[in-house]
Amino acid sequence: MIRRFLYLLTNARPRTNGLERAMTRTTSLFLGLALLAGCGGSETPQQAVDSSVKPSASPAPTPAAEKTASSSPEKKVVTYDQLIQAADALIEKRDAKNAAKILSTAIKAQPTRPEAYIKRAALLAEAKLYKQAVGDMSSAIGVDPENSKYRNTRGYFLLMLQDYDAAERDFNKAIDIDPEYPQAYNNRGLVFIGQNEYIKALNDFRKASELKEDYVDALNNLGFVFLQMEEPDPAKAVETFTKVLEINDGYLNAISNRGRAHLALKNYDSAIKDFTRAIELQPQNQQYRLHRSEAYRAAGQFDLAREDVNQIARERQIAEVNHMIRNNPRRKELWLTRAQLLLQSDRTEEAKTALDNAIKLDGTFIPSLLSRARLHELEQEYDQVIEVCTKILDLEPNTEAQSLRGDAYMLVDKIDEAIADYEAARRFDTKIVEAYRARAEQREEAGETDLAKADHERADSLETRLTAGPPSSAEEAKPREMVVQPVSFEQVAEEEGPETK
């Protein structure tokens, strides 16, 4: 018999810190239909756990019922199955609100069928309305009390509510109904972690991984328990996480967890390698960068540790600026600050968008234009550097724009223009010496001996002064590095503005 199943895939991340039992909950629900043979269903677990937080699991998929034909050729009656199909179409379009309304209509039409309860429970859980989701799963269980998957799913929702006793009862019942059900053992193991009963958790995760050898979620949780036990076994944890990665080499949290185990074993190079890989896979997760900074520091690589800490600080600043932009989207200073922070974090494309937004708001705002010119220079777009700096100089005299344009002119072999800009900017470094030497060579090749001699003398004079030290009457006018300037955020929010990329 071919049946259609609703896959309910969720992630939970309980966290322990000493005696703390608070759960950090990150739930993702993906709804899809699959055709399966037989009366059972296949499970697709979703599990990802860092050792800084407790592991998570997904409930087993919950089966939807077969279609039944109940339409009348004489009357245009919308059947239960048609309502379910319509809800599925809306779920596919991510229209949860209208999907829930249709499912409610289906429930009123046929309250003794479980499919609508299950689908609506998934939508409620996605909205983190776990109590209501528990209610719908209870209704589904009332229809089919011996369905192990329904018990497992309700148990998971109860786990998210930290109702450990009730969750354990559901997982126990699921196991009683189907002793070969690995997801129920895995989820019950999460209950035991929430209660700091690590030996019981260890046994359940082992059982789950025995029943399903490639069950990476249970294996990852098992490795986590090896790290959290009263007498931790980081060597066994490394072995377990490595087995996870042999099955799925991109399993992000197993990579990070193994890094933590290596760190505990003082295998600093291996720990740094794992954390670096985790950062590559999810660069916005600063927890991995924090772990790597710990490993760098333990290995005595203090400069690299400091770089990671500074990057974490920048990411926090970016988050703060993003929040301010949402409240004040027409503040050009905010967009500029965002661009500068993004550039310091090597997020060039996002920085371009932020700068474009700042310039759209005010095309004469010199700091934004200077930052755009620097970005063009970074990407070796020298004609654009010249164009932007020329615009700045048309607006006002600006030493930095003059100097930047001089560098760009040098790189496109417009040496006369470069020297003119360097002199106007009172540039005093090796660049202007190189410019005079280059022009002297050009003039020598053109037979302009006297002019070439004058350029060589000017270069010699500047070089002598550079050797003696900087002049007291003029400051060096080299382009400054991009510096994040403080911005006042006291203006009231406005309604419209450029969008964040």
pLDDT score at 327: 94
Where does the pLDDT of residue 201 fall: very low under 50, low under 70, confident under 90, or very high at 90 and above? very high
Closest by CA to 375, choosing from 409, 407, 340, 402, is 340
CA 425 to chain centre: 43
Most confident of 51-60, 63-72, 246-255: 246-255
Where does the pLDDT of residue 51 fall: very low under 50, low under 70, confident under 90, or very high at 90 and above? very low
pLDDT score at 54: 37
**How far apart, in whole angstroms, are the C-alpha atoms of residue 294 and residue 292?**
5
Of the two residues 480 and 187, the one the predictor is more confident about is 187
Enter the tokens of residue 282. 């999810």
pLDDT score at 472: 53
Position 475, amino acid:
E
- Evaluate if residue 303 carries a pLDDT over 70: yes
**Distances, alpha carbon 104 to alpha carbons 77, 112, 117, 301, in Å:** 17, 13, 8, 59
Average pLDDT over residues 63-89: 68
Where does the pLDDT of residue 127 fall: very low under 50, low under 70, confident under 90, or very high at 90 and above? very high
**How far apart, in whole angstroms, are the C-alpha atoms of residue 61 and residue 357?**
45
**Distances, alpha carbon 71 to alpha carbons 30, 67, 83, 115, in Å:** 30, 12, 12, 18
Domain 2-185 shares a fold with domain 331-468 = yes
**How far apart, in whole angstroms, are the C-alpha atoms of residue 480 and residue 404?**
9
pLDDT score at 74: 56
- Evaluate if residue 411 carries a pLDDT over 60: yes
Could you report the per-residue pLDDT of 13-34, keeping only the tens digit for each? 333 333 223 233 323 322 222 2
**Domain spanning 331-468 has what CATH number?**
1.25.40.10
- Evaluate if residue 233 carries a pLDDT over 70: yes
**How far apart, in whole angstroms, are the C-alpha atoms of residue 79 and residue 72?**
9
**Distances, alpha carbon 27 to alpha carbons 11, 124, 160, 210, 380, in Å:** 5, 11, 9, 26, 44
Could you report the per-residue pLDDT of 143-184, keeping only the tens digit for each? 999 999 999 999 999 999 999 999 999 999 999 999 999 999
**How far apart, in whole angstroms, are the C-alpha atoms of residue 271 and residue 292?**
7
pLDDT score at 68: 37
**How far apart, in whole angstroms, are the C-alpha atoms of residue 299 and residue 286?**
20
Where does the pLDDT of residue 211 fall: very low under 50, low under 70, confident under 90, or very high at 90 and above? very high
Position 307, amino acid:
E
DSSP 2: E
Average pLDDT, the chain: 82
Could you report the per-residue pLDDT of 489-501, keeping only the tens digit for each? 333 334 344 444 4
Average pLDDT over residues 294-310: 97
Could you report the per-residue pLDDT of 324-380, keeping only the tens digit for each? 999 999 999 999 999 999 998 888 999 999 999 999 999 999 999 999 999 999 999
**Domain spanning 2-185 has what CATH number?**
1.25.40.10
Of the two residues 35 and 252, the one the predictor is more confident about is 252
**Distances, alpha carbon 220 to alpha carbons 48, 159, 188, in Å:** 8, 19, 15
Specify the pTM: 0.67
Of the two residues 469 and 411, the one the predictor is more confident about is 411
Contact call for residues 26 and 50 (beta carbons, < 8 A): no
Average pLDDT over residues 119-147: 96
pLDDT score at 237: 97
pLDDT score at 73: 52
Q: What residues does each domain of the chain span?
A: 2-185, 331-468
Secondary structure of residue 259 in the 3-state scheme: helix
pLDDT score at 235: 97
**How far apart, in whole angstroms, are the C-alpha atoms of residue 49 and residue 319?**
24
Contact call for residues 178 and 43 (beta carbons, < 8 A): no
Where does the pLDDT of residue 76 fall: very low under 50, low under 70, confident under 90, or very high at 90 and above? confident
Closest by CA to 349, choosing from 319, 375, 316, 318, is 375
- Evaluate if residue 41 carries a pLDDT over 60: no
Contact call for residues 394 and 364 (beta carbons, < 8 A): no
**How far apart, in whole angstroms, are the C-alpha atoms of residue 407 and residue 478?**
10
DSSP-assigned letters across all residues of 419-477:
HHHHHHTT--SHHHHHHHHHHHHHHHHTT-HHHHHHHHHHHHHHHHHHHH---SSS---
**How far apart, in whole angstroms, are the C-alpha atoms of residue 224 and residue 256?**
11
- Evaluate if residue 280 carries a pLDDT over 70: yes
Average pLDDT over residues 316-324: 94
**How far apart, in whole angstroms, are the C-alpha atoms of residue 320 and residue 323?**
5
End-to-end Cα distance, the chain: 48
pLDDT score at 395: 95
